[in-house]
Amino acid sequence: MKDGKTSKIAKSDQEQAVASWINYLNQIRLDRLFKAIQAQNTNLNQALHTLNKTLSTIKEDIIIRNRGGVKGMHGFIAEVAECGIGNARQEIVGNAPAYEWINDNGPADLIRDGIQIQQKFVNAENHLSLQAIKQHFSTYPWFIKKGCRYQIPQDHYDKIKYLLSISKEQANRMPTETGEFSLKQWREVHSFFENGDVKFSDIEPSILKYESVQSNTIEKTISDERKAIKKKDEAIRDEVYAQSKPTLQEGLKAGAISAVVEGGVTFGLEIRKIIKSGKSIKDFSNDDWAEICKKTGLGTVKGSVRGISIYALTNYTATPAAVANALVTASFGIAQQAYLMKEGKITQEDFLRNSEKLCVDVSVSALSSFIGQAVIPIPVVGAVIGNTIGNLIYQTAKESLKKQDKQLIESYILEIEALSHSLDVQYKLYVEQLNEAMKEYFLILEDAFAVDCVQAFDGSIQLARYIGVSENDILNTIEDIDDYFLS
């Protein structure tokens, strides 16, 4: 095969390789999205299952059995709910369950990530669960030293934190009528942490409030948590989808790499072309290097445009990468032909023929790459092999046309041109005849709608004859009209 054909195929391979690589980037992003959605489906199902199992355990093992009685039932409910809701919140984001309910009436009620926790949900006499902590600590004075923690209702914790943040003077000025605050409570909180062995840092808030774990409110608490879990799931899916969408940065990266590849290939082909002419690299003149740099720069720019265009077409329209590359290549080629025609270097017929040939060439390249990628599902490799084989077959088929076949095609083109000329002459003749007929028609029409009734009557008779009405059906006289309407 001639050197020019080899270079052409090499250039086409490079273009399809870039297109296949961009398509591979897109596929990686879509695969990640699919896997993330599948994983999130599992996370949601597991989190909802955990919540359902939590409510079932509370009903069957605590409420129905009246475990803890009227005063202590909510404490057991809080333990199970803390574990269930805490685990569901971990599972919805893809983490392993962190909580375990001990359920042995020992010094700790539950374990979270290896840390033992004693829960105290006590609202008696408005002590904010602190007195219950004090009693437990007196029984198990080693509890905090071993890294264990106390947990109280979230609303109790928030109130304690607030009371610790204000001074006695501020506390004296606060209203007490509503029952939400009392100076006695302020003193108790400060005394507990100033004089006792338990520090505020040894206590943590539950994810639940005191009222949320009562026997008559726990179903609503779990129901609200289901809604929150589903809302969190939607937010995660939205984030995953947003991360899978094409980005400007990735598009620019595709353009930059495509520019480097196409510029490099152009550089190599230009050097090869000059070497083929008989020069060695050391003999290259300044003009040779200037031409190489010019072609390389143009190739780099085209590569950048190609990469960005293919990225946009494959991501924002339903266009396969091979077809997108063909569109870009055809656009470059047709733009060049249009420029040559504008400069007067080729005729309009040359422009049409060259553009048609270019479109056929890129179509063969696109189809070959598409088939190659399907047969050899290896990114880039399949497209390049398919393109190479397809173009070789196509170039061989073009070169194998016999001289007689070419003469037949040229003869056919001449016949088409002669027929086109003949049809053009006939068309002009028909237009002239139509113009004459229209003039005659409008003259008759003008008489038919004249203001003078006699002229209009005669004009109507002429119009009827002109459009082909039978003579027997035309009303020529007053008597004919009377007979038609009065008989």
The domain segmentation of the chain, as residue ranges, is 3-30+246-404, 34-241, 406-486
Considering Cα of 175, then 180, then 185, then 186, what sign does the dihedral take? negative
Mean pLDDT of 69-96: 94
Confidence of residue 421 (pLDDT cuts 50, 70, 90): confident
Residues facing 118 on adjacent strands: 150
Q: Is the pLDDT of residue 369 over 80?
A: no
Give the span between the Cα atoms of 80 and 323, in whole angstroms: 59
Residues facing 110 on adjacent strands: 101, 117
Token pair belonging to 323: 């077809």
Mean pLDDT of 373-400: 49
Q: Are 147 and 115 in contact (CB under 8 A)?
A: yes
Residue percentage of the chain with pLDDT more than 90:
33
Task: Give the per-residue pLDDT at 75.
Answer: 93
Give the span between the Cα atoms of 461 and 274, in whole angstroms: 85
Give the span between the Cα atoms of 273 and 252, in whole angstroms: 31
Give the span between the Cα atoms of 457 and 474, in whole angstroms: 11
Could you tell me which residue, 84 or 248, shows the higher pLDDT?
84
Among 15-29, 109-123, 192-206, 222-236, where is mean pLDDT lowest?
15-29
Angle between the 183-195 and 130-139 helix axes, to the nearest 10 degrees? Answer: 30
Alpha helices, DSSP H only, in 201-320?
Answer: 218-244, 248-276, 286-316
Residue percentage of the chain with pLDDT more than 70:
69
Task: Give the per-residue pLDDT at 416.
Answer: 78
**CA 417, chain centre distance (Å):** 50
Among 56-65, 154-163, 171-180, where is mean pLDDT lowest?
171-180
Q: Is the pLDDT of residue 442 over 70?
A: yes
Of 9-18, 191-200, 310-319, 350-359, which has the strongest mean pLDDT?
191-200
Confidence of residue 337 (pLDDT cuts 50, 70, 90): confident
Among 97-106, 215-224, 272-281, where is mean pLDDT lowest?
272-281
Task: Give the per-residue pLDDT at 99.
Answer: 96
Alpha helices, DSSP H only, in 58-95?
Answer: 69-91
Q: Is the pLDDT of residue 371 over 80?
A: no
Could you tell me which residue, 89 or 249, shows the higher pLDDT?
89
Task: Give the per-residue pLDDT at 375.
Answer: 47
